[in-house]
Structures are given as C-alpha cells and as structure tokens.
C-alpha cells in the first residue's frame, strides 16, 4: 500500500525555502519523494541551498511579477510541470500599533505577504489544474486569528492569506486543486533567535502555550506534507493551526 504521505513524482515550488520553515518544508517534501524548486530573492543563497539539497534553484523576488513569471516558467522547464505550490516567503515588518504605522512599511508587508501569494497562485494554479490537480499551501499565522497591538500590517496580511485560501479553494476545487493555509505559532528559527534569548518574552509566551515550548520548523513541515499528500486529499479551504495550543489557552 502506498503511504498516504508519499509525494513520489510530485513537483513543487516552495518560496522562501533557503532557511527556517521554508527550508524545512522543502526538505520534508524531498524526503517524501517530491522534487522541489528552491527559491529565495538572493541568487547566491538560492544556489547554495539548491546544491545542498540536490534540487533546482530559481531566485525570485516575490514582489516582482516578472520574477514570479520566471519562477513558474522555470519550474515547468526544470520539473516538467507543477503539482504543489507553497507560498512561504514573508516578512514581519516594523512593530507597533496602527496609530503609528509607517505606510511605506505597510505597503511592503502587504505586497510581500499577501499580494505576492495572489499573483503566484494566479500564475501557478492553472498549471496544477492542467496536471490533473494538486495542492497549494499558503503561509498564514496565528496572528490572523487574534487581535494584536504590536504587529499590525503583518497580522492583517496573514488574515488576508487565510481568506485567500478559502476563496481559492472555492474557485479551484472543481478542477481538483486544493488550497489551504497553515497558521504557525511561535517557531524556533534563526530569525526568532532574539526572542528566544529574551527571558521575559519566553516566560510570558510559554505561559500562554500549553505545550510550554516553541515549535520546530519540521513540525510545520509535517503539516505541509499532510496538506500536499493523499492524506489531506479531502481538506481544502482550511487554516490549519500548529501553535502548541496558544490560541486555545487562557494562559493558565
């Protein structure tokens, strides 16, 4: 019996896949049998990680329509088609409330976190449908599900990503394309190191998390493999929360 989580023969794009959660997703999909195009806006970074993982690499700034077109066309050339799309690239932006928001920063966050996913989905999903169907996985956040006074544009963009997953699921479901979002909680990555080293933050945040620890990138990658594989074949339009229980706790 073929494993429900087997991705043998599947062809995937994973944006922001040279580090952190994106790299973990790429590695997990490769381990499950998929071929994965590694992509980051940095050419050398993309080339290095692609070589390390033995996969094609295509550098792309996801805020550039031209780069996204090159990414999709290049993936079809390198892999022969597309079955899986993972829109992982994103930024946090400047912290602070909306009352003091820098609108230039706001525009960049929305362009990178939300608009880029709309544009990349529009470019890639027709090819996934033509291949007989597949899956798109968008990266949301638990900030999409809660109020937050510190990460304004980021939280708003991630709420938009969850709605985008629902809309695209309705639009593309009849052509056998499933679209879901993942909402990670606090994950231990190189980018989160300053927070991991902040004892006061960690004490407060872990008190809010029933599992009392940060997540690991591979724990988000496991959700992505589930959503891309036969195991998740009847799941679409959902935002899957992987946060150690943060959004359900009263902090006790």
Strand order in the sheet with 177-184: 35-39, 11-15, 84-87, 134-139, 177-184, 239-242
Active-site residue, selected from the candidate residues 106, 154, 172, 226: 154
- Residue 106 annotated as catalytic: no
Q: DSSP state, 101? A: -
The whole-number pLDDT of residue 234 equals 98
Q: How far is CA 42 from the centre of its chain?
A: 18
Which are the contacts of 220, defined by CB distance < 8 A and separation ≥ 6? 21, 24, 25, 182, 184, 187, 242
The whole-number pLDDT of residue 252 equals 81
CATH 3.40.50.300 is right for the domain spanning 11-241: no
The whole-number pLDDT of residue 68 equals 98
Q: DSSP state, 127? A: H
Per-residue pLDDT tens digits of the chain, which is 252 residues long: 569 999 999 999 999 999 999 999 999 999 999 999 999 999 999 999 999 999 999 999 999 999 999 999 999 999 999 999 999 999 999 999 999 999 999 999 999 999 999 999 999 999 999 999 999 999 999 999 999 888 899 999 999 999 999 999 999 999 999 999 999 999 999 888 898 999 999 999 999 999 999 999 999 999 999 999 999 999 999 999 999 999 999 888
């Amino acid at each position: 019996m073929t494993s429900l989580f087997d991705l043998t023969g599947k062809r995937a794009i994973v944006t922001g896949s040279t580090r952190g959660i994106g790299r973990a997703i790429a590695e997990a999909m490769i381990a499950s049998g998929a071929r994965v195009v590694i992509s980051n806006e940095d050419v050398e970074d993309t080339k290095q990680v692609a070589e390390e993982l033995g996969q094609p690499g295509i550098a792309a700034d996801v805020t550039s329509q031209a780069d996204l077109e090159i990414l999709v066309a290049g993936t079809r050339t390198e892999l022969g088609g597309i079955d899986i799309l993972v829109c992982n690239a994103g930024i946090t932006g400047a912290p602070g409330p909306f009352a003091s928001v820098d609108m230039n920063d706001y525009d960049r966050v929305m362009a990178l976190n939300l608009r880029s996913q709309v544009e990349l989905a529009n470019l890639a999903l027709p090819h996934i449908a033509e291949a007989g169907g597949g899956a798109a996985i968008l990266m949301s956040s638990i900030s999409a599900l809660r109020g937050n006074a510190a990460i304004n544009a980021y939280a708003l963009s991630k709420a938009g990503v969850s709605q985008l997953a629902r809309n695209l699921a309705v639009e593309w479901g009849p052509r056998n394309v499933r679209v879901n979002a993942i909402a990670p909680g606090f994950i231990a990555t190189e980018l989160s190191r300053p927070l991991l080293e902040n004892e006061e933050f960690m004490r407060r945040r872990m008190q809010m998390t029933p599992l009392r620890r940060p997540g690991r990138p591979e724990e988000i990658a496991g959700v992505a493999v589930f959503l891309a594989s036969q195991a998740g074949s009847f799941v679409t339009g959902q935002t899957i929360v992987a946060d150690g229980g943060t959004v359900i706790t009263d902090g006790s």
